[in-house]
A and B are shown apart, each in its own frame.
Chain A
């Protein structure tokens, strides 16, 4: 009897561990892991592809950001490249931009590289994520590149600043923060845009986001124009929302994207990224997400239930 408890513990341990060994790809190794206030953060390295990622909570989920170990300035994720095509929607050079959701900090760092004089603010809720960005992803704070550690909506509500562009990269992983999807939030966001400003949002694709059309409709409710870029690789969408009533033609947009790219000497192709460019000028039959009703966290269960 005295052996029963330790034995069962050993047995349980064996059962718990064995499938983990089976699934584990030997060429990926975890170089850092920590439990933050919000999530379990892992930094993984793929020795074959020579990439380093940051993952939260589960290995099965999409990485929250990553770099090439030998060329950390490259944008390896498609959606990050697509997001920068939005530069073509601003009729000037951006002076002040905001990133909501720092992740590995790859996008603010990339932006700073080509617009070294612009002010780049980032908001990140998780202090550990900021530490990881600095330690493993070459993120450095500078006088014009600062990180604010608080909830994205809090920052937007409190800040006295206005921005040319606001990049929302907070709808990631298992959990979509509902209060960053609602029409009230978008209204607050719009108030922090300079004239002609642009909001750029990374949104999970239709296939694993039951509230995709509701999100489209909500953006359309608040912004005069909405453009969707669909990715080829992960299937993420980039929403580009502007306050401009007159839709930007695809050819004009691509021409301007080409100009910016050659002007700045960017290493990504801004004209190639929008694999699918849709001008969403029409309304969809879906509910608008509000602070009162926004069940976006339930998208996983909903998907199974369908």
Chain B
């Protein structure tokens, strides 16, 4: 179940990024600056999310909290049509130039969801790690699944989904999907394999 979530959250990040380029185009065009802004804001969000997700994972990790982490971007996705045009038009009106405008718009529209989606990976790693002997394999599996998800999200969105429905409909549908996959987490009785207090295994510390 948690593996599926890691995969899907990886897919959501990249699907959102592809769709984001179409959200920005009406006001900021399709220039190299739009792509540059978009990619860096997503990476900044993920980076902040990895850091923050790792921190909070050390404080009584639970599947309930993981569900809450996923609910935030899910709600932002579902309500996206309510604020995206307003924010995008407002940034357009400020006229901060061809570089700053798409960067600022990307920050407002895409930064917070990517922080939360980024936090999913370290948080699930903490939940899954049962021993320091196999933690490498666990983290490796999660990385691989998350990136595989990203590949699928990118390809599916750009090759296919864009011709199936409107951009805003797709973003909302992805939000609903995240809610659906996160709800079971609330009812899961997750026994942290290593418990809250992982004994220090001195042999692994160089």
Contacts and interface: CB of A to CB of B under 8 A. Distances in A.
Interface of A: 37-38, 125, 150-154, 157-158, 177-179, 182, 184-185, 290-293, 295, 297-298, 301-302
Contacts of A151: 28-31, 98
Contacts of B31: 125, 150-151, 154
B168 interface: yes
A184 B22 CA distance: 13
Contacts of A150: 29, 31, 98
Nearest to A292: B166
18 contacts: A125-B29, A125-B30, A125-B31, A150-B29, A153-B25, A153-B29, A154-B28, A154-B98, A158-B95, A177-B30, A179-B22, A179-B25, A179-B26, A179-B30, A185-B26, A291-B25, A292-B166, A298-B162
B98 A184 contact: no
B22 A178 contact: yes
B27 A293 contact: no
Contacts of B166: 290, 292-293
A295 B22 CA distance: 10
B163 interface: yes
Interface of B is mostly: helix
B108 interface: no
Contacts of B169: 292
A59 B22 CA distance: 29
Interface string B15-42: 0000000100111111110000000000
B29 A154 contact: yes
Contacts, number: 57
Contacts of A157: 27, 92
B151 to A, nearest CB: 18
B29 A302 contact: no
B32 A37 contact: yes
Contact of B167 (A125, A158, A292, A298): A292
Residue of B22, B162, B163, B166 with most chain A CB atoms under a 10 A cut-off: B163
B32 A38 contact: yes
B200 to A, nearest CB: 44
A301 B98 contact: no
Interface string B84-113: 000000001001001000000000000000
A23 B167 CA distance: 41
B187 interface: no
Nearest to B101: A154
A154 B30 CA distance: 9
A158 to B, nearest CB: 8
Given A150-B98, A157-B92, A179 B29 contact: yes
Contacts of B165: 293
Nearest to A293: B166
Contact of B159 (A152, A158, A301): A301
Residue of B22, B26, B95, B168 with most chain A CB atoms under a 10 A cut-off: B26
Top 5 nearest A-B pairs by Cβ distance? Answer: A151-B29, A295-B163, A292-B166, A179-B25, A293-B166
Contacts of B29: 125, 150-154, 179
A37 B92 CA distance: 23
A281 to B, nearest CB: 29
Nearest to A298: B163
A179 B162 CA distance: 13
Contacts of A297: 162
Contacts of A179: 22, 25-26, 29-30
B123 to A, nearest CB: 33
